[in-house]
């Protein structure tokens, strides 16, 4: 006797991600079971986490250079060298802020992909536990007292129970966790034009076939039931169970679990452009289209890895896009003009030549090389500390060193005397007859103040003497601009 019973159950889909580039993709061959689905998803998570680390590492390297340039500017021997380091510091600062901003955008998309894949893994795990295939193990069998005989009109009942269907990850971990094909499949993700997912209708109610087998005949069934299911009852007058049921249950999965290819981008032929509008996240089970869109957007925002300032020549520096923007800011103060024939790089080189000098190798030999070759000394309390600039920049001690040099520069500025310049408005015009004041002299066709008459010096440090409403004070000391970038 064969009995077919249709049961209804809710399935949670299993993620199948596959690269479809080429006749036979690695992913299609590698992802062939719930176990491989789960661990392939983990490889994708690891892939996106690795991409997240790259922008962060790039920002860290530029930040160390920024601190090193600050230290070099603070320890510079003169105003020209200090100014050169400060300009390079401005370029490195722009690189750092750009890297942080652009890197963060990509990491947001990558974190979204990681979160979605983690959710998908939970669905895979649930599917593996809820929808096993093959023969189920029986946990026991019993019959109603006094009604064990199923023949001759007896309505007694034989009940067979089965263990809950489960599947442990430990059973498949050994076979798939280190499977090379899964590593290769994850590496091919960037070239995949389509990704295979279980069909969306697999998330709905699906039938499953349960086959119950009747063992033996009226003459042979007692041995089967005694061994596997409802035991024979020797107390019965007939000495056995007639037509006893021995149930072997075998589950088979329907064809609905078949995968369907979903384009990564807008079309199946092009994965470089994601869908114009992001697919809305489903309320329940993640759809294949949503997963493909999330992965596409994470892939499109490839990790931004801006390099630290490494220009070894003025020409290389002038070709750096960040340096070109800094050159524009410098020119607005120095009034350096860009001619019609100047390219952007040529104009930037003109500006940096004024700032750093005419030697083509000046950026390397005078400035950047010093970051990893020159040692500086600063004090913490009464203890002098010496180390190379680059080494200090990589440690928390950079804070103490910067504080030392900034304070040292401030004290030098405070100690400088001030000079008062008196400007008179009595000596002006081009009429020689009217240029008759005591402090005036007519020279070169115009009335001017006599040389030395209009300037007085304040000998006492810190005083600012003025001689009238038209006077102003000029400080002879150079101004140190210290910029702290945390």
Last residue of a domain, one of 191, 222, 255: 255
Say yes or no to pLDDT of 397 above 80: yes
269, 124: one domain: yes
3-state secondary structure of 137: coil
Last residue of a domain, one of 190, 223, 255: 255
Task: Give me the domain span that covers residue 101.
Answer: 13-132+168-199+258-308
* Low-confidence winner among 52-61, 404-413, 464-473 (lowest mean pLDDT): 464-473
Whether the CB-CB separation of 373 and 387 falls below 8 Å is answered with no
210, 115: one domain: no
pLDDT of res. 112: 94
Question: pLDDT tens digits, residue range 80-94?
Answer: 999 999 999 999 999
Question: pLDDT tens digits, residue range 95-114?
Answer: 999 999 989 988 999 999 99
- In angstroms, the CA 41 to CA 179 distance is 13
102, 153: one domain: no
**CB contact set of 267 (below 8 Å; sequence gap of 6+):** none
* Most confident option among 127-136, 219-228, 396-405: 396-405
Does residue 349 lie in a domain region? no
Element (H, E) at 195: strand 194-198
pTM: 0.62
88, 182: one domain: yes
pLDDT of res. 24: 37
110, 151: one domain: no
Does residue 63 lie in a domain region? yes
pLDDT of res. 165: 61
Whether the CB-CB separation of 392 and 71 falls below 8 Å is answered with yes
Does residue 425 lie in a domain region? yes
* Low-confidence winner among 110-124, 138-152, 283-297, 369-383 (lowest mean pLDDT): 138-152
74, 182: one domain: yes
222, 174: one domain: no
What would the mean pLDDT of 411-429 be, rounded to a whole number? Answer: 71
* Low-confidence winner among 264-268, 429-433, 457-461 (lowest mean pLDDT): 457-461
Does residue 370 lie in a domain region? no
% of the chain with per-residue pLDDT over 90: 29
Tell me what the pLDDT averaged over the chain comes to: 73
41, 174: one domain: yes
* Low-confidence winner among 66-70, 127-131, 275-279 (lowest mean pLDDT): 127-131
Does residue 234 lie in a domain region? yes
pLDDT of res. 204: 63
126, 245: one domain: no
Does residue 109 lie in a domain region? yes
- Burial of 439 from C-beta contacts in 10 A (0-12 / 13-18 / 19+): middle
42, 30: one domain: yes
- Report the number of distinct structural domains present in the chain: 3
Look up residue 330 and give its DSSP letter: H
251, 263: one domain: no
140, 43: one domain: no
Token pair listed for 291: 């997963």
CB neighbour burial string for 404-435, b if at least 16 within 10 angstroms, e if fewer: bbbeebeeeeeeeebbbebebeebeeeeeeeb
Question: 389 pLDDT band (50/70/90 cuts)?
Answer: very high
Does residue 326 lie in a domain region? no
Does residue 48 lie in a domain region? yes
């Amino acid at each position: 006797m064969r009995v077919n019973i249709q049961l209804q159950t809710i399935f949670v889909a299993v993620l199948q991600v596959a690269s479809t580039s080429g006749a036979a993709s690695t992913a299609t061959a590698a992802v062939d079971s719930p176990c491989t689905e789960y661990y392939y998803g983990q490889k994708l998570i690891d892939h996106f986490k690795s991409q997240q680390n790259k922008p962060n590492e790039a920002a860290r390297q530029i930040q160390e250079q920024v601190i090193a340039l600050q230290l070099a500017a603070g320890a510079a021997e003169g105003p020209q060298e200090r100014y050169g380091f400060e300009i390079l510091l401005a370029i490195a600062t722009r690189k750092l802020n750009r890297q942080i901003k652009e890197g963060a955008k990509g990491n947001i998309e990558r974190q979204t992909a990681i979160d979605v894949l983690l959710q998908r893994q939970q669905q895979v795990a649930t599917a593996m536990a809820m929808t096993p295939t093959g023969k189920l193990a029986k946990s026991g069998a019993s019959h109603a007292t006094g009604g064990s005989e199923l023949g001759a009109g007896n309505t007694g009942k034989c009940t067979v129970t089965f263990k809950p269907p489960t599947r442990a990850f430990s059973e498949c971990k050994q076979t798939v966790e280190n499977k090379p094909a899964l590593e290769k499949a994850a590496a091919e993700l960037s070239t995949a034009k389509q990704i295979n997912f279980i069909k969306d209708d697999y998330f709905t109610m699906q039938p499953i076939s349960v086959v119950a087998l009747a063992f033996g005949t009226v003459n042979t069934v007692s041995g089967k039931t005694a061994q596997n299911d409802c035991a024979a009852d020797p107390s019965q007058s007939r000495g056995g169970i007639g037509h006893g049921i021995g149930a072997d249950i075998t589950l088979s999965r329907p064809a609905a679990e078949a995968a369907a290819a979903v384009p990564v981008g807008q079309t199946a032929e092009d994965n470089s452009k994601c869908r114009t509008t992001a697919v809305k996240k489903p309320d329940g089970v993640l759809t294949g289209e949503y997963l493909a869109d999330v992965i596409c957007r994470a892939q499109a925002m490839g990790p931004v890895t801006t390099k630290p300032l490494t220009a070894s020549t003025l020409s290389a520096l002038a070709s750096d896009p960040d340096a070109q923007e800094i050159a524009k800011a410098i020119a607005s103060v120095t009034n350096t003009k860009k001619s019609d024939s100047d390219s952007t790089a040529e104009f930037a080189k003109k500006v940096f030549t004024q700032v750093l000098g005419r030697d083509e190798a000046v950026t390397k030999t005078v400035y950047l090389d010093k970051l990893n070759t020159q040692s500086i000394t600063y004090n913490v309390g009464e203890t002098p500390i010496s180390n190379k600039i680059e080494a200090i920049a990589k440690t928390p001690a950079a804070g103490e060193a910067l504080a030392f040099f900034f304070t040292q520069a401030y004290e030098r500025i405070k100690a400088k005397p001030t000079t008062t310049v008196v400007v008179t408005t009595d000596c002006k015009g081009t009429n020689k007859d009217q240029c008759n004041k005591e402090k005036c002299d007519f020279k070169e066709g115009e009335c001017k103040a006599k040389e030395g008459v209009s300037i007085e010096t304040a000998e006492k440090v810190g005083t600012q003497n003025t001689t009238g409403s038209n006077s102003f004070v000029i400080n002879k000391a150079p101004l140190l601009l210290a910029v702290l970038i945390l």
